[in-house]
A and B are shown apart, each in its own frame.
Chain A
């Protein structure tokens, strides 16, 4: 699979995740999201940016449980629950948000 953007071809794996994490740009995130009929707003970007920072620091994508806890701590208790995260990423916050953030699928996430 590949994503065509600005005349460039970006390699994706069979599930639509970036083959090379270093390819990522915000435009690619927007394009991956619009391919799934999601328009990225500020609240989506909060999560995507958080995931990228988390990956940068720990070299893994966080499990959903960890993501939920961390979002609650950073963005407020009202956002630290799976209902909020699923409202932004209906296909699953772990899978879908990690995809847009250019990260591999979280370990232990089916």
Chain B
């Protein structure tokens, strides 16, 4: 039976290497075909903000890669509503990340799920393995 893996992301991208490291571990671990979820809490919500343009800071942007995760069967992106609100953001500020449902004639479905802090706490408690970044 596959285990439930949760990657908890609480840092904005680019200022530290946490966000990129998390993404790379998710991609590597995806080869093991586990049940993977991602949580975006606190400044972590900025990792999937749309319109990221890194030209001016001379770093390679990696936001486009989140859109590839659906191909790796990673399609549960839990985003905390309170974290968005505290930062003056809404769901419209996030990339419209989707996946194609193989069991539903490749229909495109949203990967992002906005949850309350209480719901997030519940989701976090239901995992087998939690990796924090």
State the A residues within 8 Å of B (CB): 54, 57-60, 62-63, 65-66, 69-70, 73, 107-108
Contacts A60-B68, A108-B27 aside, 20 further interface pairs with beta carbons under 8 A come to A57-B67, A58-B64, A58-B65, A58-B67, A58-B68, A59-B61, A59-B62, A59-B64, A60-B27, A60-B65, A62-B71, A63-B30, A63-B31, A63-B72, A65-B72, A66-B68, A66-B72, A70-B71, A107-B28, A108-B28
- How far, in angstroms, from A60 to B71 measured CA to CA in the complex? 12
Q: How many Å from the CB of B120 to the closest CB on chain A?
A: 27
Interface of B is mostly: helix
Find the B residue at minimum CB distance from A56. Answer: B64
Chain B min CB distance to A74 (Å): 12
The tally of residues in B whose CB lies under 8 Å from a CB in A reads: 15
On chain A, the residues within 8 Å of B24 by CB distance are: 107
Query: Do the beta carbons of A108 and B64 come within 8 Å of each other?
Result: no
Residues of chain A lying within 8 A (CB to CB) of residue B61: 59
* Residue on A nearest B106 in the bound complex, by CB: A73
Which B residues from 13 to 42 make CB contacts under 8 A with A? 24, 27-28, 30-31
Q: Say how far A52's CB is from chain B's closest CB, in angstroms.
A: 14
